[in-house]
Amino acid sequence: MSAVLPPSASPVARDGGHPAGAPPVLGSVPPTAQQAALLHATWSDPPGLSGWLSAINHKAIGRRFLVTAFGFFIVGGLLALWMRTQLARAENGLVGPDLYNQVFTMHGTTMMFLFAVPVMQAVSVYITPLMVGARSIAFPRMNAFAYWVYLFGGVMLFIAFFSNTGADAGWFAYVPLSGPEYSPGKRVDFWAQMITFTELSALLEAVILVTTVFKLRAPGMTLNRLPLFVWGMLVTAFMVMFAMPAVMLASTSLITDRLVGTHFFNPGEGGDPLLWQHLFWFFGHPEVYLIFIPGLGFVSTIVATFGRRPVFGYPAMVLALIATAFMGFGLWVHHMFATNLPEMGKSFFTASSMLIAIPTAIQILCWIATLAGGKLNLKTPLLYVLAFFFILVLGGLTGLMLASVPLDLQVHDTYFVVAHLHYVLLGGAVFPLLGAVHYWWPLITGRMASERLGRWSFWLLFIGFNVTFFPMHLLGLEGMPRRVYTYPADRGWDGLNLLATLGAYLLAAGLLVMLFNLWRSYRHGERAGANPWGAGTLEWGSTCPPPAANFDAPPVVHGAYPLWMPPQQPSQVAGLAVDRREQLVTTVLDAVPDHRANFPEPTPWPFWSAVAVTLCFVWSIFTPWGAVYGLIPAAIGLTLWFWPRRRETAKHLAVERAPR
């Protein structure tokens, strides 16, 4: 902890009252108000429209990710209401079969690709640098580029939908249904390109988050002091890097089959339609845990804060997260039990599907032990966590049922599977997410949400969720198939479908109350002050909301919950420049100060590069030559993005030439 960094060669003012040229050290003298003001001005994004397009601050990008993801969530929810209204009674004529297929596909695609994974990464983009004590996220320009690519991909998909070119082969797009023989036109082409867009964004964010966690942690934040939320996002990022290439390969193969005439999935020419299912579900089942594991991180953070004690069994919790991620890659065939695969192989995947419940059970027991031994502060975020326990157990039990091949064959492609999916994803991920939104809302906005409205929205969401999806278990057991736009009146499914539809509207009402509460608090809510929940992690160690540079001086960490510890020395890093974007880089294992790095300044080129890449992808939908000629503006944008400016080059050289 006594390591120091080499002095900069340029005579600049430094934090903590240190003279120009002094090396960064671990100390306790806070910077002056003038130095802090200059520091935060240095890390701020420029004003105006050009500054908005040039923004690279992780908090600004994180807010955009969150707003965009929740915007897609609302649209996906409206599509779900449309479907439930159609299915409220038998032989309803509100929606025809073609439009219903588009609505069904757009709902699933929006929720899985445009909301579930991006929103988890959005929370991490905002929170992780603060929680590890960094001034910025790693690769801030690439972070901005990832957001623009994600936004343009989603907008492209919905432009196609409103032009009657919406994807209609299901969010899983099984071949040969999605192939050129059975899906002519451009509907599936837009879907396949959107997949590549969103997965490119997710891959970039994964690289950014892994680098941030490994190299930008505050001094003293060793891996065994890393917050459980950060562990969850780190594990998720590694899963993204292993899972996403599979679906990108699948979507690229599909679109070349459709546009170029390849035969990856055409059995008549030596292809194999089951190859699509293997590639898609090798991504698709880990994707469940890409959504679920961040939710576990939210739960651990909320349980510790509102249980007013550290989470019980920290090593077991970390190992359970890693075990869940590792085993998540060995389950994909349980989505394919109805295909002609060897029965012996299916038995192994049955065993894996049941085994993965063990690490989750370990975490639930640790959370219960934490709450049982703590002094509960029963606020809205903790209510969402308690609901998560109830819903996750129900979803997990039906998951164990579906892991059995004989039962899976009986309820395959019925509403029983729909019910299980929503209990696991909405209950296991969205309820913790909504709790996290209420928990970090004061940090993001500086305002407290209404507790009364928060409880109203919680109970509406909880009751509406169960009224919507629990009857679907019974519908599935009665034989109602999924992916149908209507059903005969003599099957006796009307009552349960009407009940599920009423629950969906109740669910929507709860979401509206929550959105009204957040909007009202943003405009007129009570000021939050510093650390309003009395939390122990570093993101609450600054102001609410945090300034541009996150901290006046990067903190030094002495424990897993630094804000719950008595002050110890050294308490902060002093000596980093305040007139340029200088970040402390630490070692991977023990977070010992290693060197300083100059971070890039805002630039509009990530935005224009994303526009060029979008042009390339959309052009390629209509002609394969678009993929060739479209690379030219993309290459120009990337070149100008990385082209060094004289001022930035001088700052980098000043650091590189400093004596070691």
pLDDT tens by residue, 375-403: 888 999 999 999 999 998 899 899 889 98
Is there a domain that residue 421 lies in?
no
The H or E element containing residue 428 is none
Closest CA to 35 of 47, 46, 19, 23: 19
Whichever domain contains 626, its CATH number is 1.20.210.10
**Which of 584, 606, 641 is at the close of a domain?**
584
Instruction: Identify any residues that bridge with 481 across adjacent strands, giving them in sequence order.
Output: 414
Are residue 180 and residue 36 in the same domain, yes or no? no
Are residue 54 and residue 39 in the same domain, yes or no? no
For 48, the token pair is: 């105006």
For 406, the token pair is: 């004989």
Are residue 30 and residue 153 in the same domain, yes or no? no
User: Position of tokens 């780190």?
Assistant: 234
Are residue 59 and residue 92 in the same domain, yes or no? yes
**Cα–Cα distances in angstroms (integers) from residue 349 to residues 7, 130, 342, in the given order:** 57, 40, 11
Are residue 199 and residue 73 in the same domain, yes or no? yes
DSSP, collapsed to helix, strand or coil, labels residue 604 as: coil
Are residue 257 and residue 124 in the same domain, yes or no? yes
Provide, for the chain, the percentages of residues in helix, strand and coil under a 3-state DSSP scheme, each rounded to the nearest 5: 65, 5, 30
Closest CA to 116 of 428, 417, 415: 428
* Sign of the torsion angle spanned by Cα atoms 253, 258, 263, 268: positive
> Alpha-carbon distance 323 to 317, whole Å?
10
**Which of 566, 584, 602 is at the close of a domain?**
584
Residue 324 confidence (pLDDT): 94
The H or E element containing residue 594 is strand 593-598
Are residue 186 and residue 209 in the same domain, yes or no? yes
Residue 124 confidence (pLDDT): 95
Residue 377 confidence (pLDDT): 87
Residue 24 confidence (pLDDT): 60
> Alpha-carbon distance 614 to 145, whole Å?
12
Closest CA to 161 of 115, 98, 119: 98
Are residue 37 and residue 136 in the same domain, yes or no? no
> Alpha-carbon distance 187 to 143, whole Å?
30
**Which of 521, 554, 584 is at the close of a domain?**
584
What letter represents residue 15's amino acid? D
Is there a domain that residue 356 lies in?
no
Is there a domain that residue 464 lies in?
no
DSSP, collapsed to helix, strand or coil, labels residue 581 as: coil
Q: What is the CA radius of gyration of the chain?
A: 26
Domain count, the chain: 2
Are residue 580 and residue 592 in the same domain, yes or no? no
The H or E element containing residue 239 is helix 228-259
Is there a domain that residue 420 lies in?
no
| Residue ranges in the chain whose pLDDT is less than 50 | 1-22, 660
Residue 258: how many CB atoms within 10 A of its CB? 21
Are residue 71 and residue 27 in the same domain, yes or no? no
Q: What are the counts of helices (DSSP H) followed by strands (DSSP E) for the chain?
A: 22, 6
Q: Give per-residue pLDDT as tens, 438-469.
A: 999 999 999 999 999 999 999 999 999 999 99
Is there a domain that residue 551 lies in?
yes
- DSSP-derived letter for residue 66 is H
Are residue 140 and residue 26 in the same domain, yes or no? no
Is there a domain that residue 26 lies in?
yes
The H or E element containing residue 333 is none
> Alpha-carbon distance 291 to 392, whole Å?
13
Are residue 648 and residue 603 in the same domain, yes or no? yes
Q: Which residues contact 447 (CB under 8 A, 6 or more apart)?
A: 441, 521, 522, 525, 526, 527, 528
For 275, the token pair is: 């190859």
List the end-to-end C-alpha distance of the chain, in Å, as a whole number. 18
Which residue range(s) make up the domain with 40?
15-48+537-584
pTM: 0.92
What letter represents residue 393's amino acid? V
> Alpha-carbon distance 202 to 137, whole Å?
15
Residue 12 confidence (pLDDT): 35
Is there a domain that residue 541 lies in?
yes
Is there a domain that residue 5 lies in?
no
